[in-house]
Amino acid sequence: VSGAIPVSRYSERLKATVEQVRQAGLRALLIGVGPELAWLTGYHAIALERLTMLVVPAEGPVALVVPRLEVSRASEVPAVAAGAVPLHPWTETEDPVRLVRGLVPGQGASGSGLAVSDTLRASFLLRLQDAFRGAPFGVASGVMGPLRSVKDADEVELLRAAAHAADRTVLAIASGRLVGRTEADVAREVRERLVVEGHDEAAFWIVASGPNSASGHHEPGDRVIGSGEPIVLDIGGRIAGYCSDITRTIWVTGGDDAKGPDTTFRSLHGLVQEAQAIGRERVRPGVAAQELDRAARRVIDEGGHGEHFLHRLGHGIGLEVHEDPYLVEGNQEQIRVGQTFSVEPGIYLEGRYGARIEDIVVCGPNGADVLNHAPRDLMVVSGT
């Protein structure tokens, strides 16, 4: 992929984050392993019981506290290798929380509050709260969310590459054999193909057939896919940490023309498709996130299925599959150029069937740049 993140970008992100920490009147951000750490330094690590923590004080140098065992790996992290972030290793018998405490300058003009990364383990947070007795704690997303939600050109290209790999995976699955296989077997193929088509790893693989298509987050199981039924495929993977997320609904005939989609399903899918198109068309800088949800929901309401559209219209996407901004009633945040998010209406008839269509879009200066290209029409396939 041409769009790997240039190392200079991490210094820019750290600088912008420190600025926000100061404006928010915080003393420091304490960032554990997770998407915030990846975004600030390029360190994609697995959260372990040993503490790894980036300390970002309002005043004073940034530092990365790492277990001694992880030093060689951490040394290769882009922001560390570039000299922007010094390492502070701790050995097995040391207390890493004390080390963190020592790296946060005393309370200054900036205030006393600390903010931790949103997914920091409770056990670490409790020990930090003990070490910084009396200090108010909050979550880092308040400071970092607005910065992270606007993607730069390199991030958009990674998301685009991931979206195209997901497009190809959907088309490959839809054109292959489906009838007579279990959902779990097709899900296994989805995981393999996501990687074959260019992802570094598969992230999720919903294969929901027949009545299971009415369940938004179905776990693929032993159900055998038959002819004359829909399948909702909602799948995604990661490239250099950046996620894809696509949903297409297909109908499997088993090669028997008499087993095509019934009129109810056709009209239901048509409504979803129309709502999804409206959602994409309304994207422009300055539109409130909830307005996008409302515009798409209105189409489904007027089609008589309002009560069957059970979830928000979409979610931001980047280093996390679900992140700011959320397209949901009540979110008056104005969409900005560079924000990337899903547009994914659905209609679910409990016990019968359902349909969803999902694309990832980036807000451009004049409207949506749609990253997914797989056709959105109901894909009627033989599946044999």
Q: How far apart are CA 359 and CA 166, in angstroms?
A: 10
Rounded to the nearest whole angstrom, what is the least distance from the CB of residue 361 to Zn ion in the complex?
Answer: 12
Rounded to the nearest whole angstrom, what is the least distance from the CB of residue 143 to Zn ion in the complex?
Answer: 25
Residue type for 140, please?
Answer: A
- Contact predicate 328/293, CB 8 Å: yes
Nearer to Zn ion, 229 or 234 (CB): 234
Nearer to Zn ion, 41 or 247 (CB): 247
Nearer to Zn ion, 24 or 277 (CB): 277
Binding-site ranges for Zn ion (CB under 5 A)? 234, 245, 247, 342, 358
* CB-based contacts of 337, cutoff 8 Å, min separation 6: 150, 285, 363, 364, 365
Rounded to the nearest whole angstrom, what is the least distance from the CB of residue 36 to Zn ion in the complex?
Answer: 21
Beta partners for residue 323, in sequence order: 316
Nearer to Zn ion, 247 or 372 (CB): 247
Work out whether the CA dihedral 15, 20, 25, 29 comes out positive or negative.
negative
Backbone phi and psi for residue 41, each to the nearest 5 degrees, phi listed first: -130, -20
3-state class (DSSP) for residue 229: strand
Nearer to Zn ion, 141 or 340 (CB): 340
Nearer to Zn ion, 114 or 203 (CB): 203
Rounded to the nearest whole angstrom, what is the least distance from the CB of residue 235 to Zn ion in the complex?
Answer: 7
* CB-based contacts of 139, cutoff 8 Å, min separation 6: 115, 116, 117, 118
3-state class (DSSP) for residue 99: helix
Rounded to the nearest whole angstrom, what is the least distance from the CB of residue 190 to Zn ion in the complex?
Answer: 12
Of the candidates 215, 173, 171, the one whose C-alpha atom is nearest the C-alpha of residue 190 is: 173
Rounded to the nearest whole angstrom, what is the least distance from the CB of residue 247 to Zn ion in the complex?
Answer: 5
Residue type for 199, please?
Answer: H
